[in-house]
Amino acid sequence: ASQTPPKMSGNVVPSIGKPAPKFKGTAVVDGEFKQISLEDYEGKYVVFFFYPLDFTFVCPTEIIAFSERAEEVNTDRKQGGLGSMDIPLLADKNLEIAKSYGVLKEEDGVAYRGLFIIDGKQNLRQVTINDLPVGRDVDETLRLLCPAGWKPGSKTMKADPKGSKEYFESEN
């Protein structure tokens, strides 16, 4: 007997390497309400993450961890950091941003734990979407932005064949 396959939610996740979906809305930035948009962060890397609900067993720990590590993430690139990054708390009351990023769990009206890394040209570089009880970690996110095994102060490579060759010749 054949079984009916489960219905998909209809979420369409944006494509890697393509422009990130634009967003705008009200956010809390430095304790103040402010209108922000993705365009405000042009020229900067953005770690854009969704969390489903306040005051659950995972969400607050993630938000606190990202907040506590903001200074480390904001370290100047010459000192091994990513440069300036702001971490505002953006409201998505009508769930339009969650829909545009493909993370809306429609039957519950909440967002899955989506994490999107957007480069300075506002293209998506990385997408992770976790189920509601599966958390994320700042170290894992930072690791995604760096070469495997990289430590602050270590050499990096340029993203081209010549730069890769120079890096591996100097390391081996």
Specify whether 59 is catalytic.
yes
**Catalytic residue (choose from 59, 95, 145, 146):** 59
User: Which DSSP string do the residues of the chain spell out, in sequence order?
Assistant: ---PPPPP----PPPTTSBPPP-EEEEEETTEEEEEEGGGGTTS-EEEE--S-TTSSSHHHHHHHHHHTHHHHTS-GGGTS-------EE--TT-HHHHHTT-EETTTTEE-EEEEEE-TTSBEEEEEEE-TT----HHHHHHHTS-TT--TTS----SSHHHHHHHHHHH-
| Residues belonging to the active site | 59
